[in-house]
Amino acid sequence: MATPAADDGAGTLLPASELYRLGGATEVVPLTKLADAAGALAREIAGKSPLALRLSKESINRSEHLPLDEGYRLEQDYTARVSSLDDAREAHAAYREKRAPKWSWR
Q: Please give the residue that has the higher pLDDT: either 4 or 10.
A: 10
Residue 22: exposure state from Cβ atoms within 10 A (0-12, 13-18, ≥19): exposed
CA distance 42 to 21: 23
> Are 71 and 86 members of one domain?
yes
The percentage of the chain sitting over the pLDDT mark of 70, rounded to a whole number, equals 91
Using CB atoms within 10 Å of the CB of residue 49, give its burial: 0 to 12 exposed, 13 to 18 middle, 19+ buried.
Answer: buried
105 in a domain, yes or no? no
Q: What is the mean pLDDT of residues 71-87?
A: 96
Residues 59 and 32 in one domain: no
pLDDT over 70 at 1, yes or no:
no
**Quick one: pLDDT at residue 7?**
56
- What is the spatial distance between Cα 60 and Cα 75, in angstroms, rounded to a whole number? 8
Residue-wise pLDDT tens digits, 42-76: 999 999 999 999 999 999 999 999 999 999 999 99
Please give the tally of structural domains in the chain: 2
Which amino acid is it at 95? Y
Can you give the pTM of this predicted structure?
Answer: 0.71
pLDDT value of position 9: 65
Q: Establish if 19 belongs to a structural domain.
A: yes
Instruction: Quote the domain boundaries for residue 36.
Output: 5-46
